[in-house]
């Protein structure tokens, strides 16, 4: 029986690249996204489902339907997310609430939908997409940073529990990747002056962004090895190691970069 996976946010960026990699490996994939799910699913020769991850009932219904139709749910990639940028004083509660709803509650809804099914069948792998911003002090996008730290904590704690049930949990922490995320920063929200400037500066500083297909290979390799944390590319691992070695130094470096940005 073919393995089955749901990939939220699967119509673009990292999600699409992961979905394509899974299809190439013979996995039956369901791309779930708020838009373009059916179109991209047709391109990748898999299934599509319109899904807003902020709707807990819809997420649960999709997980239940996939398991009922295919007899199993092997993977859930909680990948859907948004980027919200700006200095802390510019950001409104709408910025905060929308980021929490999608980036954190969206993951919670996925876990609540899939985890009981995986416990029941005795296997499965939940893969949550966080960010390097979930491991480092990343200014100019504090709501995003806060939710990604929360996703890392959620994932590692759940992994500790889930092992007793035969269920695996991994969290992906990518650096800057060539996806539409930065192009669509603050979606449906007020655009902030500092946020626009920060986005342009990040793109200029990063130079050539890490290709989404390369990250997808890193992710699927990490999943196959059941890694707790999947951090890529190499530059992201360097930044992560700096934080682990000296959190105070990492915070000072981030603060220095913020002051240079404001100058």
- Which residue out of 115, 123, 144, 210 is catalytically annotated? 144
Contacts of 173 by beta carbon, 8 Å cutoff, 6+ apart: 130, 131, 132, 134, 135, 148, 152, 229, 230, 231, 232, 236, 240
User: Tell me: the pLDDT tens digits for 64-120?
Assistant: 999 999 999 999 999 999 988 888 998 999 999 999 999 999 999 999 999 999 999
Question: What residues of the chain score a pLDDT lower than 70?
Answer: 179-208
Q: What is the CATH number of the domain that holds 63?
A: 3.40.50.720
pLDDT the model gives residue 97: 95
Domain that holds residue 49: 4-262
Phi, psi of 25, rounded to the nearest 5 degrees: -90, 5
Number of domains in the chain: 1
The two structure tokens encoding residue 34: 């708020």
State the DSSP H helix or E strand holding residue 125, giving kind and residue range, or none if neither.
Answer: strand 124-129
pLDDT the model gives residue 32: 98
pLDDT the model gives residue 246: 95
pLDDT the model gives residue 239: 93
pLDDT the model gives residue 193: 58
- Residue 144 annotated as catalytic: yes
pLDDT the model gives residue 209: 81
Q: How far apart are CA 123 and CA 168, in angstroms?
A: 8
Q: 114: closest CA among 147, 160, 75?
A: 75
Q: 18: closest CA among 142, 203, 10?
A: 10
Phi, psi of 185, rounded to the nearest 5 degrees: -60, 145
């Amino acid at each position: 029986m073919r393995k089955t996976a749901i990939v939220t946010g699967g119509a673009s960026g990292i999600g699409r690249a992961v979905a394509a990699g899974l299809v190439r490996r013979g996995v039956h994939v369901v791309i779930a996204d708020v838009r373009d799910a059916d179109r991209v699913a047709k391109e990748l020769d898999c299934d599509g489902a319109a899904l807003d991850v902020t709707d807990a009932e819809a997420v649960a219904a999709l997980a239940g339907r996939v398991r009922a139709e295919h007899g199993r749910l092997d993977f859930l990639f909680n990948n859907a997310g948004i980027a919200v940028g700006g200095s802390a004083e510019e950001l409104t509660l709408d910025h905060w609430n929308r980021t929490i709803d999608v980036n954190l509650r969206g993951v919670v809804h996925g876990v609540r939908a899939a985890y009981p099914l995986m416990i029941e069948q005795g296997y499965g792998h939940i893969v949550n997409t966080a960010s390097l911003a979930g491991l480092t002090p990343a200014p100019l996008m504090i709501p995003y940073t806060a939710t990604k730290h929360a996703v890392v904590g959620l994932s590692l704690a759940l992994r500790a529990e889930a092992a007793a049930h035969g269920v695996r949990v991994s969290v992906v922490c990518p650096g800057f990747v060539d996806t539409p995320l930065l192009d669509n920063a603050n979606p449906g929200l007020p655009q902030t002056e500092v946020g626009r400037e920060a986005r342009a500066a990040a793109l200029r500083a990063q130079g050539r962004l890490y290709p989404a297909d390369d990250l997808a290979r890193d992710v699927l390799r990490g999943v196959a090895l059941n890694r707790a944390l999947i951090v890529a590319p190499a530059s992201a691992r360097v930044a992560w190691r700096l934080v682990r070695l000296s959190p105070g130094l990492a915070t000072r470096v981030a603060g220095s970069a913020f002051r240079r940005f404001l100058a």
